[in-house]
Structure 1
Amino acid sequence: MSKAGGKCALGLAVALAVILATSGGCRRPRGTAYEGYAFVAAAGSSSLAVVDLASFSVVRQIRLHSRPAQVLSDPDRGALYVMSEGGPAGLSVIDAARLELKRSMWLAEKPVRVRLAAGSQRLYALDGKAQLLKALDLEKMAVGGEVRLGAPPVDFDLSPDARWAAVSLASGEVAVVNLAEWKTTAAIRVGGEPGAVAVRFDGRQAFVANRKDRNIAVIDLAAGRLLAYLPLDARPEALRFKPDGGELFVSGGDANVVVIVSAYRDEIDQPMLAGAEPRDIAITRDNRLLFVANSAANTVTVMNIDERRVLASVPVGEEPHRVALTPDDQYALVLNRKSGDVAVIRTAALPRGRDWLQPLFTMIPVGSEPVDLAIQPR
């Protein structure tokens, strides 16, 4: 090659490098660190693993006095609340700044589920053995009210203003509780085996998964009456509203699908195919992406909500059953119950058009049988 030709080739190479560097080509921006922690409850280890989401490493293992079942984040108080399977340490309070156990206390004879009321100082809990819904005053750490339910509770949800609670019962009913007066205003028969409950964002209606009858029961909370049954071709498991509140997503555990329900028109859209035994669901804050943990397939299905299509099926660990997104939507964290780890998926690496990068970012061992997690900023 002549000197002139060599200079020309070199010039073209430099120009191409500059174009790729300035345009980004097919490359995606690197993920930035999320300054916060994931607190992972490991039932088999009776511990709470603290995962630093900037370094993606476990920085602390907090020992608990009994097997944990659920974790709630309370950033306003700089605390987390861990519900266990019962006993004198049924509720553990974690100091989120010091990353240590602050106190443990009795919560219920058989704790089933806990929820925090937004903007309130109350934590609400179901007691399966005593058949109670009760409130715990978080300032006084004392019971602030309770109501007897008449049957073992399964799940519940609160209206955003904490005026109403809808509680699914093993008797096949849903109890509607007025939390201002602490009384049950209605007990509505919905069918066999009611499960998950989700209250609409305006607080007017509750949606209840009926696993045996394979439908969703819609309940008017103020009127205390059944409005409709929405038939499904699947056993409903998890219920998740989009952040804008317009649609409810239902994982169909035995049909390998996700069913989309219109929250205001009581209509059902065409189901979207997921993986084997879909369980938990997470949705990005921009209402664009849906993540489904498929417990029997060891995968997470990622869907574009607007286009109603699958973007990716991401292999994760063994028996994924819980998925959560960091508040900036950069990472999806997937709990793998059998393999005892957390899979981290980078949302920016998911396919868009012809682009494709490996979305599984890393795997983090957290302890035996992880069951729940909560994400909280530093």
Structure 2
Amino acid sequence: MNRILRVATSCVALALLAPTLLAPGARAQPAPHPERLAFVLNSADASISEIDIDSRQEVRRIPVLREPHHMATTPDGRSLVVGDTAGNALFFLDPVTGAMQRRITVSDPYQISYSPDGRWLTVAGLARNQVDIYDAASMTLAHRVPAKAMPSHINYAPDSSTVYVSLQDSGRLMAIETATGRVRWDSKVGSTPAGVLWHEGHVLVANMGTDFVAVVDPADGHVEREIHMAAGPHNLFITPDHKRLYVTCRVSGTIEQLDWNSLDVVRSYRLPGGPDDIVFGPDGSMWATLRWRQHVAVLDLASGRYTTIATGRSPHGIWLNTALPGRRISMLIGRSATPMR
């Protein structure tokens, strides 16, 4: 009797499922690939997480060689370029789907950044103590500039004439003419400098070994002011509307908002787990990689509440493809570093 009941129950279940079963000869259709994606570089897992922005779920991982840290889009927006520093390679991906386009050999591409005019690609070789400036169109090496110790973060003057590179292990910032490779100056700015950002005619440098961001005169490299905040300021980011400025402080586990004009700290967000790189979502939320938690946090800036999404080990650079031309604005990023490698 029990056996008859189990068979009858199974038949009822199959009947209920019948509308969803495939017809004879039909093929199962894969779920559509999300078009709105976040790309997260898992530095300790040699992979890239693709996250559906809308569902906030990881949909797949793309393998690379050894140690991806940073990325940038090509000036024409047709490729997302990922630097695999220990693998000595640049991966060019389709920025909409993540499909691999090509791979080229490049020496130690820890941090990579295209100039505002799209002419140059600067590569900071943190392990090899070199800064390489490439012609972006042909990817031919134009200049190789020796650096004193651990070049990590990159930013340009708005006219692309000068590229500024922080040197983590020497506490210095160097200014290089992009067209010639000539070092204009090399100045002490603090302890373990990382993030570099041009802001209203000055260069801001986050010093991880201190509690301040240095305000640097781009003409000669002298520090004009120290902006004190939580411990370990690491990197700096501007919102897409150019109205707000944020600093990630990995040591303290906070993100500090600075007033655009005075540069004073106006708000602090608690975000444990080593907040590193951030990007702004199409809904105005902030996405931040948490290097020590294997997660990305999605932060509501009004309330300060956040949720997390699991990733691979040591998530570092992050970018949302809603930043592409014709899409709702986000912000290109992936410009950060780890202290002492």
TM-score by shorter chain over 0.5: yes
Other-structure match for 1:290:
286
Would you say 1:179 and 2:175 are equivalent positions?
no
Q: Aligned letter for 1:175?
A: M
Q: CA deviation at 1:141?
A: 2.3
Other-structure match for 2:126:
128
User: In 2 relative to 1, CA 181–236 (structure 1 residues): closer, same or farther, beyond 3 Å?
Assistant: same
Match of 1:167 among 158, 165, 168: 165
Q: How does 1:120-159 map to 2 (within 5 A)?
A: 120-159=118-157
Distance in 2 of aligned mates of 1:153 and 1:237: 14
User: In 2 relative to 1, CA 37–294 (structure 1 residues): closer, same or farther, beyond 3 Å?
Assistant: closer
Any unmatched runs of 5+ in structure 1? Answer: 1-32, 336-370, 372-378
Distance in 1 of aligned mates of 2:250 and 2:66: 29
Other-structure match for 2:307:
314
Relative CO higher for 1 or 2, CA cutoff 8 Å, sep ≥ 6?
2
User: In 2 relative to 1, CA 300–320 (structure 1 residues): closer, same or farther, beyond 3 Å?
Assistant: farther
Does the 8 Å CA contact 1:95/1:102 hold for their aligned counterparts? Answer: no
Task: Name the SS of the counterpart of 1:269 in structure 2.
Answer: strand
Does the 8 Å CA contact 1:206/1:220 hold for their aligned counterparts? Answer: yes
Other-structure match for 2:104:
104
Other-structure match for 1:208:
205
Q: Aligned letter for 1:174?
A: L
Distance in 2 of aligned mates of 1:271 and 1:57: 28
Q: CA deviation digits over 1:302-323, x for unaligned, max 9?
A: 2335xxx42x221432678455
Distance in 2 of aligned mates of 1:314 and 1:71: 24
Distance in 2 of aligned mates of 1:145 and 1:282: 31
Task: Name the SS of the counterpart of 1:197 in structure 2.
Answer: strand
Q: How does 1:66-77 map to 2 (within 5 A)?
A: 66-74=66-74, 76=76
Task: Name the SS of the counterpart of 2:155 in structure 1.
Answer: strand
Q: CA deviation at 1:249?
A: 0.8
User: In 2 relative to 1, CA 136–236 (structure 1 residues): closer, same or farther, beyond 3 Å?
Assistant: same
Does the 8 Å CA contact 2:233/2:248 hold for their aligned counterparts? Answer: yes
Q: Aligned letter for 1:210?
A: N
Q: Aligned letter for 2:193?
A: P
Would you say 1:226 and 2:223 are equivalent positions?
yes
Task: Name the SS of the counterpart of 2:110 in structure 1.
Answer: strand
Task: Name the SS of the counterpart of 2:76 in structure 1.
Answer: helix
Q: CA deviation at 1:279?
A: 3.0
Higher strand share: 1
The alignment yields a C-alpha RMSD, in angstroms, of 3.8
Q: Aligned letter for 1:128?
A: L
Does the 8 Å CA contact 1:168/1:175 hold for their aligned counterparts? Answer: yes
Q: Aligned letter for 2:213?
A: I
User: In 2 relative to 1, CA 278–48 (structure 1 residues): closer, same or farther, beyond 3 Å?
Assistant: closer
Does the 8 Å CA contact 1:51/1:60 hold for their aligned counterparts? Answer: no
Other-structure match for 2:30:
none
Distance in 1 of aligned mates of 2:308 and 2:150: 37
Match of 1:267 among 255, 264, 267: 264
TM-score, normalised on structure 2? 0.69
Distance in 2 of aligned mates of 1:44 and 1:207: 29
Task: Name the SS of the counterpart of 2:307 in structure 1.
Answer: strand
Does the 8 Å CA contact 1:236/1:252 hold for their aligned counterparts? Answer: yes
Q: Aligned letter for 1:187?
A: D
Distance in 2 of aligned mates of 1:295 and 1:47: 14
Does the 8 Å CA contact 1:275/1:299 hold for their aligned counterparts? Answer: no
Any unmatched runs of 5+ in structure 2? Answer: 1-32
Name which of structure 1's ranges 128-137 and 289-298 shifts more when overlaid on structure 2: 289-298
Q: CA deviation digits over 1:194-251, x for unaligned, max 9?
A: 1222222x5x211111122211001121343211111123221232112233432112
Would you say 1:116 and 2:114 are equivalent positions?
yes
Q: CA deviation at 1:174?
A: 1.0
User: In 2 relative to 1, CA 139–283 (structure 1 residues): closer, same or farther, beyond 3 Å?
Assistant: closer
Q: Aligned letter for 1:271?
A: S
Does the 8 Å CA contact 1:293/1:301 hold for their aligned counterparts? Answer: no
Other-structure match for 1:83:
83
Distance in 2 of aligned mates of 1:267 and 1:218: 12
User: In 2 relative to 1, CA 301–234 (structure 1 residues): closer, same or farther, beyond 3 Å?
Assistant: farther
Task: Name the SS of the counterpart of 1:271 in structure 2.
Answer: strand
Other-structure match for 2:13:
none
User: In 2 relative to 1, CA 226–136 (structure 1 residues): closer, same or farther, beyond 3 Å?
Assistant: same
Q: CA deviation digits over 1:285-313, x for unaligned, max 9?
A: 68x543444555757252335xxx42x22
Q: CA deviation at 1:92?
A: 3.1
